[in-house]
Amino acid sequence: MRHFNKSKTNLLFACTICNRSYKKTNFPLADETKRSIDTHDISKEEPLIINPSTESPSNYIVYNQHIMQPRIINGQESLKGKYTIELFKLNDRNVIVEERRALYESYNSAIGKKTYCRTIVIENRIT
Ligand SMILES: [Zn+2]
């Protein structure tokens, strides 16, 4: 168990479903060799989970209609966006995907745009 797992900066509010069913104890890093184990200095760690209390998810995730995709940054998919989407299954959980679809469709309807979401499947790969 990580020594700082209950330190103030390591705690965020999350719903029970996200925390227990999806995040669990996962805390992926861009470079596992930089994981802080014996020290309180976590400054070298580059977490691959978005921390919405310190950074904007839109820096890492974009929408294609109602489907979330990693933002392309310097020609590369944002790994942080990709891992956050995959870890929390943000495109695979019917309840949240259908809410986004309804929102997308009602927005288009409100602006007079008659488009309907196609169902698209995003490859859910973890490398
Ligand atoms: Zn949740």
Residue 123 lies in a domain: no
Residue 126 lies in a domain: no
* 31 Cα to the center of ligand 1, angstroms: 26
The pocket of ion ligand 1, defined by CB under 5 A, consists of 15, 18
Residue 116 lies in a domain: no
What confidence tens digit (pLDDT) does each residue in 44-101 have?
888 899 988 889 999 999 999 999 999 999 999 999 999 999 999 999 999 999 999 9
- Answering whether pTM is above 0.85, one says no
d(CA 30, CA 25): 16
Give the count of domains, the chain. Answer: 1
DSSP string, 72-110: EETTEE-HHHHHHHHHTTTTT-HHHHHHHHHHHHHHHHH
Residue 96 lies in a domain: yes
* 95 Cα to the center of ligand 1, angstroms: 11
Residue 13 lies in a domain: yes
Q: Which residues pair with 69 in a beta bridge?
A: 62
* 110 Cα to the center of ligand 1, angstroms: 28
Residue 22's domain comprises 8-110
Q: What angle do CA 22, 23, 25 make, to 5 degrees?
A: 130
Q: Which residues pair with 77 in a beta bridge?
A: 72
